[in-house]
Amino acid sequence: MQSSIPYRQNSRQPSRQLSTDPRNELHPYVDHYIGIDVGTGSARACIMNDHGDIVGVASENIGLWQPQTGYYEQSTTDIWRCICTSVRRAMDMHNIDRHSIRGIGFDATCSLAVFAEDTDEPVCITGPNFDNKDGNDRNVVLWLDHRPVAETEKINATKHNLLRYVGGKMSIEMEIPKVLWLKNNMPKELFDRCKFYDLTDALTHIATGNETRSYCSVVCKQGFIPVGVDGSVKGWQEDFLKEIGLEDLCEDNFKRMGGVDKVNGNYLTAGELVGTLSEKAAADMGLQPGIAVGSGVIDAYAGWIGTVGAKVKLDDDRLDMDAPKNDVSQAFTRLAAVAGTSTCHLAMSKEPVFVNGVWGPYRDVLLPEYWMAEGGQSATGELLKHVIETHPAFHEAHSVAETFNTNIYDYLNEHLREMAEREKAPDISWLGRHFFFYGDLFGNRSPVADPNMKGSVIGLSSDKSLDGLALYYYATMEFIALQTHQIVSTMNKSGHAISSIFMSGSQCQNDILMQLVAAACDMPVLIPRYVHAAVVHGAAMLGAKAASTDKDGKSEPLWDIMDRYSKAGKMVKPSKDANLKRLLAKKYEVFLEQCESQQRYRSDVDAAVEGWTKAA
């Protein structure tokens, strides 16, 4: 691949040019890279210097539309506006010279973006008319949109071989079910004009004008099998698409999905050079045109990039930036847990590891020739929020938290400590010893892979007090920790070698939750320096990789960039308290029984009412 970026004598290191901006007189030789993270609720821009330090962050809330229950829609027009506002604000607030920006990396939620093939304009995905009458360009079906229930069932009923690479079942959160829903509901003449992108690929397209797709997007969420894997010839599986009713997408060598690599398409691994920032995109962002733009990744995968490269000494309770260079093999023992509304669990392996209920194995999506697996919890942050806000004592707790000028999570953690002290409990976990909460209120992503899973409670009382809320809140944290243990142990039993968890996201600040995860999994939990910005920090590293591209199209290995730029944080070691270990081990047995019994109860009842079902 020929790069339009000027050749650098030392192509494996960032270029260093003298800044002429008087504001940078104290640091005249500084290059910067921009990471852009598009989450469910906001777009963020992070500016990273050539030492890996974050020197500026800004964000802007994204519009979200819910025309029906279970429908979630966004607009790339609105998202791009939020991105540009965030970039401009981060640059201005922190006095960054725009001439110092060398590379840009994107990550985004695994959402489906739809454009017109002939005009490149957004195509409305809002039924029943799909006419964009409100003028919002709602062309994004968000990852958590659950409209394609029937389509997902049809896809999984094929039992096609590619389903092996998504844990045995394609999730309703993935993009092919959403494309099939659009075909089943859109006017044919409109659907026939559509081309489809994962959101991060849509953003690199807007930024550069290029039609390049990222392996992370198409392999993880669109049923693409890299060439050479399991006999795959073109990546896209023609027989599968025809069997589910998407034969239209096979035309012109799958052009509407991105084409065939090196025939009528271009596919890149994380951070490889897509192209350079166009004149229009640069004007929108307030930047110089010609900046290197790296191939993007799904947001959780940027969390892996931003965390697992940290230098770790597991024997002395610290992460150490002066430790010897990481070898890439160390990544095989490190699980990245990217926690937000939901939590994704990412693990790398040298060889493919198949795990029921865990998505993947995916080849080439982050590092060439290596494999990724993705487990997950459908709701963690959202589950905590739901449990707290639906309890009768929520308003009282919220009011008290405001009085103490703190958030409700920190307040409830302190309340749990006070309860333990008042009851002379040996540990906070003692308070919830007879309370058993199973929390799949939003379905199960891993390892059961059943969107119909629900919650259950044993030990429910009539307590409406703050104590009752705190106990329910504790039980929810315990559930998150026990389910993390279930996912990790399932992955390890199948062939992974996970021995530490690298967390990112706001949940890292919850010390009780982190202690529970470490204790339940019996392994250390590593928390990054940039707790809130680990994902967007990872995106900036993609920009650094793109900027390292030489005249022959070769760039510095992403792992080397991660090793150089990752920042030390802190470690939470698992408890050595034998009583706590026995308690959590017994609670885990109950947790598994609650999980299994729910499935058995549903099956037994369905069998009992089979006559009604057939009559209906």
**What local confidence, expressed as pLDDT, does residue 490 receive?**
97
Whether 286 and 397 map to the same domain: the answer is no
Domain assignment of residue 602, yes or no:
yes
Q: Compute the distance between CA of residue 401 and CA of residue 412 in angstroms, rounded to an integer.
A: 8
Per-position b or e across 362-383, b if 16+ CB within 10 A of its CB: bbbbbbeebbbbbbbbbbbbbb
| pLDDT attached to residue 19 | 36
Report how many domains make up the chain.
2
Question: Are residues 249 and 108 both part of a single domain?
Answer: yes
pLDDT digits (tens, 9 = 90+) for 130-149: 999 889 999 999 998 999 99
Task: Map 318-373 to HEC letters.
Answer: EECCCCCCCCHHHHHHEEEEEECCCEEEEEEECCCCCCCCCEEEEECCCCCCCEEE
The tens digit of pLDDT for each residue in 545-558 reads 999 999 999 999 99
According to DSSP, the residues that pair with 372 across neighbouring strands are: 348, 362
Query: Is 6 a member of any domain?
Result: no
- pLDDT of the residue at 6: 32
Q: Does residue 464 form part of some domain?
A: yes
Last residue of a domain, one of 276, 295, 314: 295
Same domain, 271 and 374: no
The reply to whether 209 falls in a domain is yes
The tokens describing 570, both together, are 């802190």
pLDDT of residue 567: 87
Strands 500-504, 334-339: pairing kind: parallel
Domain boundary among 247, 276, 295: 295
| Residue 47 domain flag | yes
Same structural domain, 284 and 344:
no
Q: How many other CB atoms are found less than 10 A from the CB of residue 571? A: 19
Same domain, 290 and 330: no
Question: Do residues 44 and 132 both lie within one domain?
Answer: yes
Q: For residue 293, what are the CA distances in angstroms to 32, 34, 279, 348, 568? A: 13, 10, 13, 25, 27
Cα–Cα dist 82/248, whole Å? 34
Length of the chain: 616
pLDDT one-digit tens code per residue, 85-102: 999 999 999 999 999 999
| % the chain with pLDDT above 70 | 93
* Residues 506, 446 share a domain: yes
228, 338: one domain? no
Predicted confidence at residue 323, as pLDDT, reads 56
Looking at the structure, tell me whether residues 459 and 510 fall in a common domain: yes
pLDDT of residue 611: 84
Return mean pLDDT, the chain: 92
135 lies in the same domain as 270: yes
**What range defines the domain where residue 140 resides?**
32-295
d(CA 343, CA 477): 13
Residue 235 resides in a domain: yes
pLDDT reported for residue 321: 47
Pick from 295, 315, 348: which residue ends a domain? 295
Task: Map tokens 């993009």 to a residue.
Answer: 175
What CATH number does the domain containing 379 carry? 3.30.420.40
Contact 172, 146 (CB under 8 A): yes
Cα gap 173→153, rounded to integer Å: 13
In a domain, 383, yes or no: yes
Q: What is the rounded distance in angstroms from the CA atom of residue 234 to the CA atom of residue 225?
A: 8
In this structure, the answer to whether residues 71 and 165 fall within a common structural domain is: yes
Q: Helix or strand or coil: residue 526?
A: strand
Q: What is the pTM of this model?
A: 0.90
In a domain, 199, yes or no: yes
Residues 512 and 402 placed together within one structural domain of the fold: yes
